[in-house]
Amino acid sequence: MLRRAVVMSLFVLLLFLAACSGPSALTGPEEVRIGVVAPLTGDIPKVGESTQNAAQMAIDEVNNAGGLEIGDTTYTVVIQVEDNEAKAESSVAAATKLITQDNVVAIIGPQSSKQAVPTGQVANDRETPMISPWSTNPDTTTNRPWVFRAAFLDPFQGPVVASFAQEEFGAQTAAVLYDVASDYPKGLAENFRDAFQAQGGEIVAFETFSTGDTDFSAQLTKIGQANPDVIFTPQYYNEVPLIVQQARELGIAVPVVGSDSWGTPDLLDLCGDACNGLFFSTHYAPDIATEVAQEFISAYEERFGEKPDDVAALTYDAFQLLFAAMREAGSIEKEAIRDQLAEVDRFEGVTGIMSFDDQGDPTKCAVIIQIQSGAFTYYDQACPAGFP
């Protein structure tokens, strides 16, 4: 009996010691917690990795500078990164957990519209500000006052590329090759088609494949047969090299143009010479970037050993936007942050100057990039009508 009592009291003592040494909410500086939802696994793990890197960089910068000053208090920013496995249900669970279990003040992510659309519903219902850096589907923010995004939408980017193709190459005819099972390429392909036709051009081939395909020879042979002046392919950086190389192997020499999903430096390694001279539209040009962007690029490269892609840049911007709104609001109340986010009328980020419309979508310029000897170089700029 005595022995048991001794063991028990030792156990209690141990627990007490544990309690003292364990993480405690009562000590240390004030924390403010931000949730990040990213696809660390699943079909686009690179997107998750870039998100995580950019998020880590954004908060480290703030914390190393002493913390985030909001009102009279200085907060240490903590991020909690959750993997959504590139699955809608996992994304919803992650966001619900972040909001109700971890009490985050805001969520950055998810990146793909497939996850951002349902997750936006959660954020909106639970009244937590959410910024999706990369999602381009209008549904993500439509009628959701709590949801914002950092990327421009398909209906803006499609026409930009269409006009560029017509002006630059004098293209009368165009072919489109896109992934029918993925919403981003499909939306952009359709917007490009409509814009190209509206400006008097003709779409001679509108070909599709499915997510995960690596052989496009059948579609490209068909496109080659239609003999377009230009090929538009709004695909991801890991598919573009295959498309371009296979087109060249099939003897198709016409220019291939693309969209912001090309803008990952991995593309340069993977594609090699085949992509030299090609154009695509995106958010920012690394070579003529503004001071803000230059600093970001060099810091990112130094820390992670690679140039930031568009995901990293947009995620970083989303964080800066959130920090700015929190500082302005002078509070870490969700409602105050949301109101500030909605009122931003000029924010200069890595990906350019943006303001937000009443749906929470940014108005910003697109740049046209040319791939020249293994680097993304600035070529042209296109701004929406009425841009300040």
Partner 1 sequence: MDQFLQQFLNGLQLGSLYALIALGYTMVYGVLLLINFAHGDIFMMGAFFGIFFAFTFDLPFLPSLLLSMAVVGVMGVLIERIAYKPLRHASRLSVVITALGVGLFLENGMLALTGASPRSYPQDFVETRVFEVAGLSVSNVKILIVVLAFVLMAGLYLLVQRTKWGMAMRAISYDKFALPLMGVSQDRVISLTFLIGAALAAAGGILWGVAYPVLNPYMGLRIGWKAFIAAVVGGIGDIRGAMAGAMILGFLEVYVAAYLASTYRDLIVFVLLLAILVVRPTGLFGVARRQKV
Partner 2 sequence: MADVTEITQESKSMVPARNRLVTALNAWFQDKILHAYLLGIFAGVLLERTVGIVIARLLGLRDLPVLFGLLNVFEAFGDLDLSGILEPLFPTTNIPNPWQQAGAALVDVLVTIGSDIPLALLTTLQVTAYNLIIYGVPVFLAALVLNPALRGVVRRLPRAFNLGLLVALTYGIFWAWGGETAYRELVLMYLGINIILTVSLNLINGYMGEFSVGHAGFMGVGAYAASVLTMRLFTDSPAFGPALLPGLTDLPFGLHVLIGFPIALIAGGVAAALTGLLVAFPSFRTRGDYLAIVTLAVNFIVQAALNNMEIVGGPRGLRGVPLWSNFTWVFVVTLLSIFAIRNLVNSTFGKGIVAIREDEIASGLMSVNTRGVKLVAFLTSSFLAGVAGGLFAHVLAYVNPGVFGIFKSTEALVMVYLGGMGSISGSIIAAFIFTFITEALRPLGVLKWVLIPLLLILLMIYRPQGLFGNRELHFNIGGREEE
Angstrom distance (rounded) from CA 323 to CA 58: 10
x/- mask, partner 1, residues 151-190, rule CB under 8 A, reads: -----------------------------x----------
Q: Contact 132/140 with Cβ under 8 angstroms?
A: yes
Q: Which residue from 78, 79, 88, 250 is in contact with partner 1, where contact means CB under 8 A?
A: 250
Q: Which residue from 23, 200, 386, 388 is in contact with partner 2, where contact means CB under 8 A?
A: 23
Q: Contact 58/316 with Cβ under 8 angstroms?
A: yes
Decide: is 238 part of the binding site for partner 1 (CB under 8 A): yes
- Ranges within 93-112 binding partner 1 (CB under 8 A): none
Decide: is 96 part of the binding site for partner 2 (CB under 8 A): yes
Give the shortest CB-162-to-partner 1 separation in angstroms: 21
Q: In what order do the strands lie in the sheet with 347-349?
A: 347-349, 352-356, 362-363
Q: Which residue from 12, 16, 41, 103 is in contact with partner 1, where contact means CB under 8 A?
A: 41
Amino acid at 147: V
Stretch that binds partner 2, among 94-102, 199-207, 326-334, 361-369 (CB under 8 A): 94-102
Size of site (CB under 8 A) for partner 1? 34
Which residue do the tokens 């907060």 mark? 75
By DSSP bridging, strand 362-363 and strand 352-356 are antiparallel
- 25 CB-near residues (< 8 Å, 6+ apart): none
Angstrom distance (rounded) from CA 279 to CA 166: 13
Decide: is 218 part of the binding site for partner 1 (CB under 8 A): yes
Among partner 2, partner 1, none, the one that 229 touches (CB under a kind-dependent 5 to 8 A) is: none
**Between 182 and 351, CB nearer to partner 2:** 182
**Between 15 and 218, CB nearer to partner 1:** 218
Collapsing DSSP to helix, strand or coil, 158 comes out as helix
Stretch that binds partner 1, among 190-198, 245-253, 311-319, 357-365 (CB under 8 A): 245-253
Stretch that binds partner 1, among 7-15, 195-203, 233-241, 371-379 (CB under 8 A): 233-241
Stretch that binds partner 2, among 14-22, 163-171, 225-233, 244-252 (CB under 8 A): 14-22
Angstrom distance (rounded) from CA 103 to CA 384: 38
Stretch that binds partner 2, among 20-28, 196-204, 235-243, 271-279 (CB under 8 A): 20-28
Give the shortest CB-13-to-partner 1 separation in angstroms: 39
Q: Which residue from 44, 57, 75, 82 is in contact with partner 2, where contact means CB under 8 A?
A: 82
SS3 content of the chain, % helix, strand, coil (to 5): 45, 20, 35
Q: Which residue from 61, 139, 306, 348 is in contact with partner 1, where contact means CB under 8 A?
A: 306
Among partner 2, partner 1, none, the one that 23 touches (CB under a kind-dependent 5 to 8 A) is: partner 2
As to burial, measured by CB atoms within 10 angstroms (0-12 exposed, 13-18 middle, 19+ buried), residue 158 is buried
Backbone angles phi, psi at 65, to 5 degrees: -85, 10
Tokens of residue 37, six digits: 């939802």
Amino acid at 33: R
Of 74, 60, 66, 65, which Cα lies nearest the Cα of 32?
74
By DSSP bridging, strand 130-132 and strand 147-149 are parallel
DSSP 26-74: TSSS-EEEEEEEE-SSSS-HHHHHHHHHHHHHHHHHHHHTT-EEETTEE
By DSSP bridging, strand 230-232 and strand 256-258 are parallel
Which residues bind to partner 1, rule: CB under 8 A? Answer: 41, 43, 45-46, 48-49, 180, 207-210, 212, 214-215, 217-219, 221-222, 225, 238-239, 241-242, 245, 248-251, 266, 269-270, 272, 306
Which residues bind to partner 2, rule: CB under 8 A? Answer: 14-15, 18-25, 40-41, 45, 49, 81-83, 85, 87-90, 92-94, 96-97, 99-101, 113-114, 117-118, 121, 125-126, 137, 139, 180-183, 186-187, 210-211, 266, 269
